[in-house]
Structure 1
């Protein structure tokens, strides 16, 4: 998996949310630079776990759909006679 990258707009929105969270929940102010470092840390350390869970969820959904398709194909089979 490649490194997670955010656009400038995404980064600005995330920085704003992190700063607001720190102020509202922790009663601390942090600067944009610190918030950006925190985002980079979470993206590199925790991001892969969310990514892998997303893959696992997609895989399960795909398996369910393939099984459902198998049943639908069986219903189309003709009985000789």
Structure 2
């Protein structure tokens, strides 16, 4: 399994724009594309595993709940 997350150029540009907008609106700081891109790279490298694992867990829980629902339709 690879640890690298790839995003399209368009998605990356949108993410960078969102980071710049957040810093401007919340911290009154203007970031350039490079600084916002480095922040995005940090989030991807350092935090994405947690989000990925939460998604796996949520999917696991959802599927287990559906399996429990399926077992309830058994006829005796």
CA distance in 2, matches of 1:17, 1:34: 12
* Deviation (angstroms), 1:51: 0.5
Listed as ranges, the gaps of 5+ residues in structure 2 are none
Classify the secondary structure of the residue corresponding to 2:29.
coil
TM-score normalised to structure 1 length: 0.86
Cα RMSD over matched residues? Answer: 1.1
Which residue number in structure 1 is paired with residue 27 of structure 2? 26
1:1-81 alignment, distance < 5 Å: 1-2=1-2, 3-72=4-73, 74-75=74-75, 77=76
Question: How many residues end up aligned between the 2 structures?
Answer: 75
The structure 1 segments of at least 4 consecutive aligned residues displaced by more than 4 Å after TM superposition are none
* Deviation (angstroms), 1:49: 0.3
CA distance in 1, matches of 2:19, 2:37: 9
CA distance in 2, matches of 1:30, 1:40: 15
Listed as ranges, the gaps of 5+ residues in structure 1 are none
Classify the secondary structure of the residue corresponding to 1:20.
helix
